[in-house]
């Protein structure tokens, strides 16, 4: 099981800024280990954000995204108390989903 | 007349140049500011907190009874008083060394094994995460290392000697780079560590997350890498010299505010 994400969602007016920090190796598949063998690619492929269960953002990611990625976006119309759910799936099929409440 | 006009133009161009010019240090400070908002050190802090509270090891207990110098289980404020003398082990210990002691005495883990583990692997990665968690609980507090015990004063003196000791193929000492103001490696400003370098600089900024290699570094790895850059042999993990250097830097940083866990390029 992957390590938890850190999600912060802060409302200001009718906009909510969501900041997500994900814990992932994001191996490109280009690097070699100390023995000279290729380290197999391992990265997040799909990111989904939902506001009270309704999908507001989907993203396709690839090996060019950094290790432990940081994602920030704005959701219109989200109020304090609403739920923001972030999920990702990586190329090994591993999944992680975390939820935060808008403050 | 024409000459005056030209001079005027030249003067305007100069002013514009001065305004647009941003020093490398400003640029780096701006870059750090942007990164701070999503410092992945937070992930290690969360991992460290979980490790601190989780029952682990052959004895299956948590580290919550670990004495970091402020009494068993007291985490807040411990970081800014380390390294210090511990009566139960009879020596001066820094944070990472002390954490290993607790992992051995409380959880029954194999200390010699942990010390031999490379940085970022297995239990050593856990020590770094734990150090990140403990350091984070002292964020905003000011360094105030005790110097009451004879061994603490001795550790400071040993650290001072090590700091100024020149050797290796490049005839380097720590002081070659960190002994005066205004030095840098490439674009990185080097703090003068022979005195208090200021809030959140030098000793007060580690453990830190290194963006360039995506690794979390504790003070032990920081010192280890300094020795690598000096072309010295690698010092052992939590060896006397690394702890003595920690004491020297920590005592010098008295009054500096800790911003650990920080973020570095």
Helical (H) or strand (E) element with B150: helix B150-164
| Nearest CB neighbour to B46, from listed A4, A67, A70 | A4
* Distance between CA atoms of residues B162 and B244, nearest Å: 8
The first and second tokens of residue B37, run together, are: 């908002």
Q: Give residue A22's domain range.
A: 6-101
Per-residue pLDDT of chain A in tens (103 residues, 90 and over written 9)? 577 888 989 898 889 999 999 989 899 999 998 899 999 999 999 999 999 999 999 999 999 998 889 999 999 988 889 999 999 999 999 999 999 999 8
pLDDT 10s digits, B247-263:
999 999 999 999 989 88
- Our CA dihedral for B248, B252, B253, B255, rounded to 10 degrees, sits at 130
| ipTM of predicted complex | 0.73
The owner of tokens 């380290």 is A39
B248 and B156 Cβ atoms separated by less than 8 Å: yes
B47–A6 C-beta distance less than 8 A:
no
Please report which confidence band the pLDDT of residue B99 belongs to, taking 50, 70 and 90 as the band edges. very high
Beta bridge partners of A59: A47
* Residues 26-85, chain A, touching B (beta carbon < 8 A): 66-68, 70, 72
d(CA B83, CA B223): 14
Residue A52, domain member (yes or no): yes
B134: enclosing H helix or E strand: helix B122-136
User: Within a domain: residue A10?
Assistant: yes
In a domain, A21, yes or no: yes
Q: In sequence order, what are the residues at sequence separation of 6 or more whose Cβ sits closer than 8 angstroms to the Cβ of residue B68?
A: B74, B75, B78, B79, B82, B95, B98, B134
Taking the Cβ of residue B61 and every Cβ of chain A, the question of whether any pair is shorter than 8 Å is answered with: no
Q: Is the CB of residue B190 less than 8 Å from the CB of residue B178?
A: yes
Q: Best interface-test mutation with A: which of B32, B43, B208 has the largest number of A CBs within 10 A?
A: B43
pLDDT of residue B11: 47
Q: Residue B227: count other Cβ atoms within 10 Å of its Cβ.
A: 19
Residue A82, domain CATH: 2.60.40.10
Query: By three-state DSSP, how is residue B68 classified?
Result: coil
Considering only CA atoms, which of B215, B68, B39, B65 is closest in space to residue B137? B68
Separation in Å, CA of A50 to nearest CA in chain B = 20
Check residue A78 and give its pLDDT: 85
**In chain B, domain spans:** 39-144+166-264
Domain B39-144+166-264 is found in CATH 1.10.760.10: yes
Cα separation, B121 vs B54, whole angstroms? 19
Identify whether the C-beta of residue A27 lies closer than 8 Å to the C-beta of residue A42. yes
Q: What is the pTM of this model?
A: 0.82
Task: State the Rg of chain B over Cα.
Answer: 22
Each residue's pLDDT tens digit, B116-149? 999 888 899 999 999 999 999 999 999 999 999 9
* Residue A1 domain flag: no
For B15-44, what is the mean pLDDT?
72
pLDDT in tens, B106-116: 999 898 999 99
In angstroms, rounded to a whole number, what is the distance separating the alpha carbons of residues A49 and A16? 13
Task: Check residue B17 and give its pLDDT.
Answer: 46
**A21 touching B, CB under 8 A?**
yes
Total structural domains within chain A? 1
């Amino acid at each position: 099981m992957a390590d938890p994400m850190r999600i912060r969602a802060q409302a200001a007016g009718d906009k909510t800024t969501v900041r997500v920090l994900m814990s992932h190796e994001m191996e490109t598949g280009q690097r070699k280990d100390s023995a000279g063998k290729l380290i197999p690619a391992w990265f997040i492929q799909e990111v989904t954000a939902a506001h009270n269960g309704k999908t507001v953002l989907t993203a396709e990611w690839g090996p060019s995204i950094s290790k432990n990625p940081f994602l920030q976006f704005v959701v219109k119309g989200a109020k304090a108390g609403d739920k923001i759910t972030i999920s990702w799936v990586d190329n090994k099929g591993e999944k992680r989903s975390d939820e935060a409440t808008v403050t | 007349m024409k000459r005056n006009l030209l001079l005027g133009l030249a003067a305007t161009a100069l002013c514009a140049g001065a305004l647009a010019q941003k020093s490398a240090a400003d640029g780096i400070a701006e870059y750090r500011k942007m990164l701070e908002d999503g410092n992945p050190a937070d992930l290690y802090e969360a991992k460290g907190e979980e490790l601190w509270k989780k029952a682990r090891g052959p004895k299956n207990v948590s580290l919550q009874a670990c004495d970091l110098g402020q009494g068993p289980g007291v985490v807040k404020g411990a970081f800014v008083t380390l390294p210090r003398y511990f009566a139960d082990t009879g020596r001066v210990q820094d944070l990472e060394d002390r954490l290993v002691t607790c992992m051995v005495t409380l959880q029954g883990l194999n200390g010699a094994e942990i010390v031999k583990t490379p940085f970022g692997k297995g239990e050593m990665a856990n020590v770094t995460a734990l150090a990140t968690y403990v350091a984070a609980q002292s964020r905003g507090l000011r360094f105030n290392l005790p110097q009451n015990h004879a061994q603490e004063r001795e550790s400071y003196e040993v650290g001072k000697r090590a700091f100024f000791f020149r050797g290796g193929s490049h005839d380097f000492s720590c002081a070659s780079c960190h002994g005066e103001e205004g030095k840098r490696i490439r674009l990185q400003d080097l703090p003068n560590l022979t005195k208090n370098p200021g809030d959140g600089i030098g000793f007060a900024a580690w453990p830190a997350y290194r963006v360039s290699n995506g690794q979390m570094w504790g003070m032990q790895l920081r010192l280890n890498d300094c020795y690598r850059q000096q072309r010295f042999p690698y010092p052992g993990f939590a060896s006397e010299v690394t702890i003595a250097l920690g004491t020297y830097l920590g005592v010098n940083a008295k009054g500096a505010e800790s911003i650990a866990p920080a973020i570095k390029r």
